Structure 1
């Protein structure tokens, strides 16, 4: 996957619009009843960063970022300010935030994940782009300051020694969303004072 490990400017991403999208097929029967089927097992996030542009300098930064990514060709990191931590927005990540696996005495590599739960239902999201220096790990509720490493390009945590059988493996972290531009053209408008704007700059989450 063509990807640049660089993050979209944070000061612009603060003002974007967007969030998760799902694909559901809805068929209305002759009786008026519905049948619904999920086309996608996982959600996919869409954003429009045009709403984050407030100054001419912001516009210039976005154009430069777009050109450096060759439009839709290269993916990049994006901070979703509405959802970028393993914990609640008001909290700081801790080593016991998310259960990412259970030791079996053999397995040493575990994928970072985030669980979304409401009532009895839940969905698990794989986290592929943790922020460097933000990951904390615990075994059986005890934080582990060493004895492991994390690949910040894949979100895979590798332990030096396989966790013992039955031990809960938990993690806390901040993370970015892997995205790409969903357009190969930027339609820039300049007003009389030469302040620029762009109607829409769509971003689309990259799923493998």
Structure 2
């Protein structure tokens, strides 16, 4: 069963997420040969992000909000949106998304649907990350550098990250399709219980609230 089949389109408390720690992880296999050389293989094609939201708690109100959110998601049962404080736009953090930020495909005159994605690096070594949870109202799209009109020339599925061009506006063969957007990360709680001590919290002890990315 896909992780998105048990997903709530709600956002984890932003005030807490902006104090979280975490980032991407890779699973690689490194074999040391008898010659002393290494052989390295990627076990998975995509990275997977994990976070600890416990470091974002600043008040008892934050604790209350997270506990309520945990209960509403039934622990790890349902996924939800998380605003990654380090990587949440198609551009650099201080910039505003532009319609030409990220390549998302090339027109062939027939295909009307393009998947939002973000590319890291350049050339043959670049990694293209699918973006499934764009922020509503943030997606901008261009064809051959000309920005398109949302709702008139294209639509966006904010639950999958699919961009669909309206009939009569499908990109022609060879046309570069680009997009800019803000986005959330689909995650779930990576624990079946939360342990928060009021005395410990006042003493500065930070509870652990692990979150793990749900891959499409």
Find 2:181's aligned residue among 173, 181, 184. Answer: 173
Could you say which structure has the higher strand fraction?
1
- Look up the match of 1:9: 13
Q: Structure 1 50/193 Cα, relative in aligned 2: closer, same or farther at 3 Å?
A: closer
More moved, 91-100 vs 22-31? 22-31
- What CA distance in whole angstroms lies between the structure 2 residues aligned with 1:57 and 1:98? 38
Query: Given the alignment of the two structures, is residue 148 of structure 1 paired with residue 158 of structure 2, yes or no?
Result: no
* CA distance in structure 2 between the partners assigned to 1:50 and 1:118 by the alignment: 35
Q: Give the superposition deviation at 1:174.
A: 0.3
**What secondary structure, in the 3-state scheme, does the structure 1 residue paired with 2:105 have?**
strand
Question: Per residue, is there more helix in 1 or in 2?
Answer: 2
Secondary structure of 2:197's aligned partner: strand
**Corresponding residue of 1:38:** 42
User: What do residues 65-96 of structure 1 show as CA deviations (whole Å, max 9, x unaligned)?
Assistant: 00000000000000001100001112100000
Once the two structures are TM-superposed, the CA of residue 32 in structure 1 deviates from its matched residue by: 2.0
Deviation at 1:54, TM superposition (A): 1.0
After TM superposition, the structure 1 stretch with the greater mean CA deviation from structure 2, 23-32 or 116-125, is 116-125
Residue 195 of structure 1, CA deviation: 7.7
| TM-score normalised over the length of structure 2 | 0.92
User: 1:96 and 1:120 mapped to 2: Cα distance?
Assistant: 20
* TM-score between the two structures when normalised by the length of structure 1: 0.95
RMSD: 1.6
Structure 1: any 5+ residue segments left out of the alignment?
none
Unmatched 5+ stretches in structure 2: none
- How many aligned residue pairs are there? 208
- 2:163 is matched with 157
What CA distance in whole angstroms lies between the structure 2 residues aligned with 1:47 and 1:75? 14
Displacement of 1:189: 1.4
Secondary structure of 1:5's counterpart equals strand
Alignment partner of 2:65: what SS? helix
Give 4+ residue runs of structure 1 displaced > 6 Å after superposition. Answer: 192-196
Specify the alignment match of 1:47 in structure 2: 51
- Aligned counterpart, 2:65: 61
Could you list the per-position Cα deviations for residues 43-73 of structure 1 after superposition, in whole angstroms to 9, with x for gaps in the alignment?
A: 0000000000011111111100000000000
Partner SS, residue 199 of structure 1:
coil
Of residues 179, 201, 205, the one that matches 2:209 is 201
Q: How far off is 1:120 after superposition? A: 5.3
The within-5 A match list for 1:98-137 is: 98-118=102-122, 121-137=125-141
